[in-house]
Amino acid sequence: MKLSPRFKYEIAKEFGGENLKLCFACGICTASCPIREIDEKYNPRRIIRMVLLGMKQRVLNSDFIWLCSSCYACTERCPQGVRFTEVMNAIKNLAVKEGYIHPAFAQQLHILRQFGRLYEIDEFDNNKRIAFGLPKVEKTKGFTKKIIEIAGLNNIIPRREDDKNV
């Protein structure tokens, strides 16, 4: 396996990654992690070790980096001030930039492109809103499209065939 010794610096440069190199592997993050309780694959301490060892391909290519639920328990308890939730965000951002993206997120973008929002607001919800004196929610595809365009997501995750049809 090819190692990238600069990988830890790349992550340390990102917001929240500053203290990454201070980790002394006490394991309180893993012991606090609710995801680890249900999924053996996810281990914050191990992810940090992998980053520090420069296992870039393995980390960015893996399924587990998408599992963090951002509960901040690890960030709260880390004695060395490693903001692991933010480290995870940095890793995820880098993964997307390098073209590794989890199919679930690609699917979400697909839905966004189609409907302009992730959860469809149907007639039933809209009637409820009107009853509360709130305006109706329309399909706001154009607006979301613009955001996707500005964020440059179209270059990273190309449109699918069926995106264009709607």
Partner 1 sequence: MMDVGRHPNIKLLTCSQVESISGYVGNFHVRVHKKARYVVESECTACNDCVEVCPVIIPDEYQQGLSSRKAIYIPFPQAVPSAYLIDMNNCLGTNPIACGKCAEKCDKKCIDYDMKDEIIEFDVGTVIVATGMDVFDPTPLDEYGYGTYENVITSMEFERLLSAGGPSDGHFIRPTDRRKPKTVGFIQCVGSRCEQRGQPYCSNICCMNTIKDTLLLKDHYPDIEAKVFYIDMRAFGKGFEDLFKRSKEAGVQYIRGIPGEIIEDSKTRNLKILVEDTTANKMEEHEFEMMVLSVGVTPRLDMPEVQKLLTLSKTPDGFFMEAHPKLKPVDAPTSGVFFAGCAEAPKDVKDSVTQASAAAARAETLLAAGKVKLEAITSELNADLCRFCTICAQACPYKAITVDPKKKTISYIEALCKGCGTCGAECRFSAIKMKHFTDEQIVSQIDTYLEEDSYDKVIIFACNWCSYAGADTCGGARLQYPPSSRLIRTMCSGRVDEKFVLHAFRKGAPMVVVSGCHYVDCHYIDANRWTQKRVEKLWDKLERLGIRPERLLLEWISAAEGRRFAQTMQDIEELRKKVTKEEIEHTIKILTEEEEKERQKQEKLKK
**Residues contributing to the site for partner 1 (CB under 8 A):** 19, 22, 24-28, 30-33, 36-37, 40, 43, 45-46, 73, 77-81
- Spatial distance between the Cα atoms of 73 and 153, rounded to a whole number of angstroms: 30
Smaller CB distance to partner 1: residue 23 or 112? 23
List CB contacts of 118: < 8 A, sequence separation 6 or more.
108, 111, 112
Smaller CB distance to partner 1: residue 23 or 94? 23
In angstroms, what CA-CA distances link 30 with 23, 37, 134? 13, 9, 44
Please report how close the Cβ of residue 84 comes to partner 1 at its closest, in angstroms: 13
Please report how close the Cβ of residue 52 comes to partner 1 at its closest, in angstroms: 14
Please report how close the Cβ of residue 33 comes to partner 1 at its closest, in angstroms: 7
Q: Is 37 exposed, middle or buried (0-12, 13-18, 19+ CB in 10 A)?
A: exposed
Please report how close the Cβ of residue 36 comes to partner 1 at its closest, in angstroms: 7
